[in-house]
Each structure stands twice: as C-alpha cells, then as structure tokens.
Amino acid sequence: MDALYEMGGAFPTDALRETGVTVREAGPDDDVAGVMPRWVALPETTDEVAALMRVSAGHDLAVTPVGGGTKLHWGNPPERCDLLIDTCCLNQVLEHAAGDLVVRVQAGVTMDALAETLAAEGQQLSLDVPVDGATVGGTLATAVAGPRRFRYGTARDLLIGITVVLADGTTARSGGKVVKNVAGYDLGKLFTGSYGTLGVITEATFRLHPVPDDRRWISVAPPEAGAAGRTDLMPGPDTPAAARTNVPPGLGALVAGLAASQVEPSAIEVDWPDARIGPMVSVLVEGTAAGTRAGAVQTLMEEYGTARTTTGPPGWWGVPPGQDVLLELRVPPSRMGGALRAVAAAGLPAHVRGSVAVAVLQIALPAALSGAALTEYVSRLRDDLGDLGGRLTVLAAPQELTGRLDRWGPVGALPLMRRVKERFDPGRRMSPGRSVGGI
C-alpha cells in the first residue's frame, strides 16, 4: 500500500508511527476472521486512539478494533482491514467510586482483572462473560451477557457511560462524566453489539452491585434423563414430523413458575447435550436468605425431577463446549418450549445451553459439518423460529462453511442501522462488513 504514496504525502507507516503509538507489522496470529491486516497499533490512551484514527482517515485505512481476540472469529470477515487497533495497553481501572457503586475503566481491561479489583471492595460487575480473556471493550462490542442477565440485565443495562473514538478521529462521550456528546444518540446503546463498525470503544463506566453474602445452585435432571434404553424422549433426524414434540412437558411450567416466584432467582439455566434425553436445569439464588430460598426452589423443582443444592455452579455452567460452530437463538420466553422442539427437529446433533428464563440459548454444532448441512439447518430452524417470533444468529463458523449464508438473518431494524452506519462512518472504514447486513 505504501507504493500508492510514493508520488507525494507521507507513507501510512510513517504517519502511523509519527503519532508516537507503538505500531508493528501484522503477524500470522493477527487475522480477523481470516482477513490479515497490514499493521497492528497498541495505543495506551484515548488521545492516542484518536491520533491513529485521524491518520487512518487521511490515508483511507480500514480499521478493526480488537480486545482479547477471543471473538474475532465471530461475525462476518471484514471487507478489508489495514490497521488493527489492539486495546491490550488500554488496561487501567481509571476510577472506582465504591461508595457510589460505579467504576470507570479502559476498554482493554479484562473482565477477570476487573472482577478481581472490584471483589477487593466487596463489589461486582454483574456480567458473567462466558469467554476467558474477554475485555471490557470486546464484551460491549459483541453484546455478550451470561446467566445472571435474568436478574441484573445485559451489558447495555449496566453501562452508564462510554467514551468512543469515531472514524474521523473525533472523541465522543455520553452518559457519566460527559465532555462531548453526539447529539441525539445514546452512544452506549449504539456501540453495544456494534462489532467495531461505528468506532473504537476506549472507556466505559458501569454501575456495580455488592457481592452477595451467599450463593446456592439448585440443579435437576428430569426423570427421563436416567431412563435406560429410552431414545424416543427427544426426536432425532429420522423422527416423523408429527412426533417431534417430546420436550419434557413440565419444563415450560417449571421455568415460568420459577421466574414468577418470590424466590427471585438470579439465573435459570438449561444444559441439553443430547436430544434423546431431557435437559438439565439449574437455578441460582443469591443473598443473605439464599439457603432458605434454595429450599423453596428445590421444592418447586422436585415436580420436574430429583433436585440437589450446591454452593458452587454445576460443571456445565457457561457456554456450550466447542465454539467452531456456535449459534444463538432468541425467542419470547413464552415460546421457549416451541423453540426447543424446533431445535430437536432440525436434524443435527446439537449441544444447547443458555438462559431459559430470558429465552437466549447457544447452540454448538459438530465441527465436521458441510456448508450445505449448516445452511439447511439454519434455514429450517429460522423458518420454525420465525413462526414463534424468534430469530437465529450464526455467532461463529468457519468461512468455508458459511459461504453466502447470512449469519444474522432477517433484521427489521436494518434500514435504521444502515443510516446510523452512514452517520458515524460514511467512508465505511470501521470494520466494514462485519455486522448485520454487511454494515
């Protein structure tokens, strides 16, 4: 690319290094979903990110932000990627107002490091990030939330302030400690789930919660799970369509009863590794009365199967094992039973895990799939979920499997999202093509 500048102007390499930021040539481990950048920059402050973005704007460089790199294989490959902005050196907890239950951090702080810092003051950011090594910025950019979203909400619910650098190098802030706003926009909500397509997140401010005095997990497997020789309890690919309805009938009632009960669970999770047997269900209760409430939960769950209470999470708590092919299913909570039946009927062995009370599930599929099999599975499941008011996203899959497959499927807000992209990044230089509809 530098050859384009031999007739005048500074080489991009020189201009990038003149910012004072550490810049290196990209290596084989720096690809973004298979697309290799030319340079990697390691800024340490918001001002340094802004300087890099101004150079990128002047030289028409496409930019992709990266945090821990744990989810760079999620989403579409970018149409082009010249500069990777690695936030690993944006790793400071800038302010922890323990009395106000507020923390302000740089985007490159890992969620594990943040949790350790807050725990020293008896506080927590109530997000259960399912991927080790994930950073604050990456968690926001991919809108990841774990089991306790049922009680505490998602990342966008806990975010109260954000600092971002836009494609032209402008620094913008919204929420807590506002210096400059982008008029008419809630930057926190826009940038959460944006996959780096609107700008670079450099700082975030969150509201916190006290660490609970006690936690109890109550887990139950349905009686069918231990029934020897039973293969008809969950349908397989050869099961007639009329019979593909064998999700344990008590599951929906159990989840609805728990969600509405006075025990106030923090999470209601399901693990379903094999469609031939029923899913495992686990409930988390927290607080000073956790022991008493655990007993009430166990009583409710005994109608579904034999329940037991532990002081630590079950070994399966978290995302499904293996993320080579990972899908995310969302439906209205009242339609969860139908969604599980649709998964069972879709024709591939799937490991399902997630939050049944809010009806957000992850589906891990075997890595040894053909592109045609994945496309057929996604198409069939999307048709069934569409009838239930739900949707299916392909979070991660090798590019050779996805081909022309639309990872997000139909999105009603796409025209509005395109207008937002045009407003924030008219030159299509921020992670172009990574998100919904090729934004």
Q: Could you tell me what percent of the chain has a pLDDT over 70? A: 88
pLDDT in tens, 74-133: 889 999 999 999 999 999 999 999 999 999 999 999 999 999 999 999 999 998 877 788
Residue partners of 398: CB distance under 8 A and separation at least 6: 324, 325
Here the CATH number for the domain that contains residue 99 is 3.30.465.10
Contact present, 352 and 320 (Cβ < 8 Å): yes
pLDDT at 10: 54
176 — pLDDT class (breaks 50, 70, 90): low
pLDDT at 173 over 80: yes
Same domain for 136 and 273, yes or no, is: no
Domain membership of residue 137 (yes or no) is yes
Amino acid letter, residue 274: D
Q: What does the block give as tokens for 25?
A: 């040539």
Tokens describing residue 23: 């810049």
Q: How far apart are CA 391 and CA 373, in angstroms?
A: 19
- Final residue before a domain boundary, out of 88, 110, 131: 88
Is position 337 within any domain? yes
- What pLDDT sits at residue 235? 39
In the prediction, which pLDDT does 33 show? 87
338/380 same-domain check = yes
Q: Which amino acid is at 313?
A: P
Positive or negative CA dihedral for 331, 335, 336, 338?
negative
415 lies in a domain? no
Q: What is the pLDDT of residue 368?
A: 86
**Above 70 in pLDDT, residue 73?**
yes
Across the chain, what does the average pLDDT equal? Answer: 87
Give 246's contacts (C-beta < 8 A, 6+ positions apart). 232, 233, 234, 235, 341, 344
Q: What is the number of domains present in the chain?
A: 3
Q: What are phi and psi of 263, to 5 degrees?
A: -75, -15
Answer yes or no: do 59 and 82 share one domain.
yes
Tokens of 229: 């020789």
Q: What is the pLDDT of residue 8?
A: 39
Strand order in the sheet with 159-165: 93-97, 102-106, 200-207, 159-165, 171-175
Q: Report yes or no: 234 and 274 within 8 Å, Cβ to Cβ.
A: yes
Q: Global pTM?
A: 0.88
Q: What is the domain extent for residue 39?
A: 2-88
100 and 198 housed in the same domain: yes
How far apart CA 315 and CA 323 sit, in angstroms, is 17
Q: Are residues 350 and 254 in the same domain?
A: yes
Helix (H), strand (E) at residue 385:
helix 371-387
Per-residue pLDDT, 3: 46
Question: Cα Rg for the chain, rounded, in angstroms?
Answer: 23
pLDDT (tens digit, 9 = 90+) per residue, 225-241? 444 333 333 334 444 34
Higher pLDDT, 143 or 274: 143
HSE of 285 in the Cβ direction (CA atoms, 13 Å)?
A: 22
Domain-embedded: residue 436? no
Tens-digit pLDDT profile for residues 18-68: 999 999 999 999 999 889 999 999 999 999 999 999 999 999 999 999 999
pLDDT digits (tens, 9 = 90+) for 362-393: 999 988 889 999 999 999 999 999 999 999 99
Cα–Cα distance for residue pair 398/73, rounded to 1 Å? 8
The residues pairing with 219 across neighbouring beta strands, listed in sequence order, are 282, 308
Tell me the two tokens of residue 132.
């080790």
Residue-wise DSSP of 258-273: HHHSTT--SEEEEEE-
Residue, of 264 and 250, whose pLDDT is higher: 264
